[in-house]
Amino acid sequence: IYGFAEQGRPVYAECGGLMYLCRVLHAGGAAHPMVGVLDAEVVMHDRLQALGYVEVETTRPTLLGAPGVRFRGHQFRYSELRRGETLAEVFRVHRRRDRASFPEGFAWRNVLATYV
């Protein structure tokens, strides 16, 4: 998978796939090496970190198209992503229940990964 992504081939990952593409997953007091495609680490928590429906808009070109692509999705996760400097955020996510917004969606080369 790492070699495929490094060659610029398209990779799309959601939730667990996003976590798998990171460098390290921290869970249960241990650090577990992952694929290492994304410059990020994942930390598992005992409590929910996100739950609910969201509306998303791309802010940069992605595998989904030009900036401005809109879609809806859902988040249900106990993990937190700690992004490195080389990992670009490419979405603006709006929670439906309170309209709060935050950056999300992560891209590197032709890889697009998201919790949504």
Catalytic residue among 1, 15, 27, 64: 15
What are the φ and ψ backbone dihedral angles of 103, each rounded to 5 degrees?
-75, 150
The SS3 call for residue 16 is: helix
Asked whether the beta carbons of 74 and 45 are under 8 A apart, the reply is no
The verdict on whether 15 is a catalytic residue reads: yes
Residues taking part in catalysis: 15
